[in-house]
A and B are shown apart, each in its own frame.
Chain A
C-alpha cells in the first residue's frame, strides 16, 4: 500500500487544530454546499441530507485522526490509500466553511490568486487564512501522490 508521511512544523500546525475541530463541528450541523435539487420529495430530501451529514462527519474524523498523540511527538502525519479520499473531501468541506464564515472579508479574486498579506489581517482571520492554505496544501499532496488510488475507488 502506498503511504506518504509528511513532517509538519508543530508550532505552525498545532494552533490550527482547534479551528479545524470547531469548523468540523460546525459542518456536522450544516452542509458545505447547498443542495441543488429544488423539487425533491421531502422524505428523500431528509434522507439525502442525513447521508451527506454522516459522510461529512466521517471525513472530518479521518482528517482529525491524523493529528493524534503520535503527531504531537513526531510531527508526522501519514496518508495512504485508505484515508486519502476522506481526508481530501474533509479538506474541501473545511475550506468551504472557513471561506463562508471566517474569510468573508476577503474577495474571491484575492483568495483565488492567493495575493493576501497575512500581516494585514486580523489575528483570527489570519489564522483562518493560514488554515485554509494548509488544507489546500494537504489536498495538493494527496492529489499528486494518491490520485490513482482515489480514481480506482
Chain B
C-alpha cells in the first residue's frame, strides 16, 4: 500500500507543472474608434507598452485601417492590467483568448 500511496502524493505536483506549462495566453486587442486622434493613439501605445515610435505608429495604423490590432499577448493577469490601463486612456480594448497556444 505504501508505494501506491507515494504515487498518489506525487501526482498533484506533476499535474501542477503541466498546468503551468499550458497556461493559456490572452491577447490584448485595441479596436478602432472614430474619435481619438492618430497622434493620441500613437502616444498611448508608446506610453503603455513602451513601443518605439515606428512600432506604435504601425499598430495605430493597423487599428485605423483594419479596425483592430493585437498589441500584446501573454498571461491573463497581465493582459487584464493592460486592458484596464488602455481604458484609463479611453481606448477601446478587449481581451481575447489566444487559441493557437
Contacts and interface: CB of A to CB of B under 8 A. Distances in A.
A140 B39 contact: yes
B46 A151 contact: yes
Contact of B43 (A36, A55, A95, A151): A151
Contacts of A48: 84
B63 to A, nearest CB: 13
B87 interface: yes
Given A147-B43, A150-B47, A151-B43, A52 B87 contact: yes
Label chain A's interface by main secondary structure: helix
Chain B contact-residue range equals: 20 to 34
Contact of B83 (A36, A93, A147): A36
Interface string B15-44: 000000000000001010111110110010
Interface stretch (A27-35, A65-73, A117-125): A27-35
A105 interface: no
Contacts of B60: none
A70 to B, nearest CB: 27
A21 interface: no
